[in-house]
Amino acid sequence: MSDSPTAATGDNGKRRALLLLIGLVFVLAGLAWYLAWRLVFSQREVTDDAYVNGNQVIVSAQIPGTVVAILADDTQRVEAGQVLARLDPTDTELALAKASSALAHAVRQVRQLGESAAQADVAIAARRLDLARAQADLARRTPLLADKAVAAEEVAHLRDGVELARSALDAAQRQAAAAHALIDGSDVAGNPAVLQARAAFREAWVNARRNAILAPISGYVAQRNVQVGNRVQPGQPLLTVIPLHDLWIDANFKESQLANIRIGQPAHVESDVYGGKVEYTGKVVGLGAGTGSAFALLPPQNASGNWIKVVQRVPVRIALDAAQLERHPLRIGLSTTVKIDTHERNGRMLAPPAGEAMVAQTDVYARDLAKADAEADAIITANLPTTH
């Protein structure tokens, strides 16, 4: 019985030590959580409302026609400038032949105008001789009228003849001016009528080459809806080419997460396709100009009816590394998780003005018009007069 107070004191001390230890553990845990939040979690923004996006280049015909061949199908890779489909060339070949004949006819017409102008010049010379002859006859007869060697009626007829000759000369000069107005200032090849026919020929030549529908960029074919025998029109979507080497992430962050997000901040992306095995490194390149709902087909009307606040999201574009995309390909629309490191907060929230650098370009539609010009020159030369 004498040991019981001592034992009770020992139990109380153990209990107190245990409680202190538990309290210390909670304090340390709280401190660790605070430090983790302060140094890690508060320095990043995370969302799983993020998806892969990229350019979807819709390929269409430039001229109307009937599809006679398809050379690429869904999932296949195509290179820039590769022929994807062909149209029936009958119409464009006939139009090119018609334009060729029109150009030749224009050259011959200008030549004819030149000959007509030369003929009008000769007519002016003849009319001048007629006027000079009439004036000379009048000059000889007029002095004889005082001596009554000639009749007054004859002199009157001579005066009328001079006026008629002068009028004929004036008419010939005007006809010559009209003829020269169509040819003066240029040779046959530079005549406006020939240039117009030449332009029509070049247009027909280009249209004849547009029977081949080309891939504007390198990528993978998707959404092919064109079939052999379809009658297509310019601008009608035929298929889509997607460049999988140039993708980005559209991460939809809550409006409450945007305060610390800046352009240029690093980001880490994990795709559901590869899970945690692959982590893409990227950076913030821009924030959307509005929320997703603002650009929806049916934007919300919060001023009507009962209102319930819905947290809005703004798309943030994350650029990806092309080398990583080459090693681990992604597809448009795949789900991802994005973590943005917001330690550095001195960057811009709004993108700078667009510069002169092209966002995208292609040169596959640049036609070699030198060949068209050479063919047009050959047609013009063949219809010029031969020199002996």
Say whether both 80 and 215 belong to one domain: yes
Evaluated on CA atoms 203, 204, 208, 210, the torsion sign reads positive
Say whether both 64 and 115 belong to one domain: no
CA dist., res. 7 & res. 308, Å (int): 64
4-13, 163-172, 225-234: which has the minimum mean pLDDT?
Answer: 4-13
Say whether both 146 and 183 belong to one domain: yes
Say whether both 108 and 155 belong to one domain: yes
Say whether both 82 and 221 belong to one domain: yes
- Range of 65's domain? 57-87+208-242
* Domain CATH code at residue 233: 2.40.50.100
Q: How many domains in the chain?
A: 2
Q: What is the dihedral of CA 368, 373, 378, 379, to 10 degrees?
A: 120
The verdict on residue 63 lying in a domain is yes
The verdict on residue 255 lying in a domain is no
End position of a domain, from candidates 207, 230, 261: 207
Say whether both 185 and 221 belong to one domain: no
- Does residue 300 have a pLDDT over 90? no
End position of a domain, from candidates 187, 217, 242: 242
Say whether both 165 and 80 belong to one domain: no
- Does residue 179 have a pLDDT over 90? no
The verdict on residue 69 lying in a domain is yes
Say whether both 97 and 193 belong to one domain: yes
The verdict on residue 187 lying in a domain is yes
pLDDT of 388:
46
pLDDT of 365:
83
The verdict on residue 192 lying in a domain is yes
Say whether both 69 and 161 belong to one domain: no
For the chain, percent of residues with pLDDT exceeding 90: 47
Region 214-228: mean pLDDT is 95
Say whether both 103 and 161 belong to one domain: yes
pLDDT digits (tens, 9 = 90+) for 323-354: 999 999 999 999 999 999 988 888 888 888 88
Region 112-137: mean pLDDT is 81
Question: Phi and psi dihedrals of 67, rounded to 5?
Answer: -70, 125
Say whether both 76 and 135 belong to one domain: no
End position of a domain, from candidates 207, 229, 256: 207
Say whether both 108 and 165 belong to one domain: yes
DSSP E strand stretches across 255-362: 266-271, 280-287, 313-320, 335-341
Cα angle for residues 316, 49, 327 (degrees, 5° grid): 80
74-83, 135-144, 188-197: which has the minimum mean pLDDT?
Answer: 135-144
pLDDT of 146:
62
pLDDT of 53:
95
Structure token digits, residue 370: 């030198």
Query: Residue 41, class by beta-carbon neighbours within 10 Å (0-12 exposed, 13-18 middle, 19+ buried)?
Result: exposed
Bridge partners for 269 per DSSP = 280, 338
pTM score above 0.85? no
Region 224-244: mean pLDDT is 95
1 band by pLDDT with thresholds 50, 70 and 90: very low
The verdict on residue 188 lying in a domain is yes
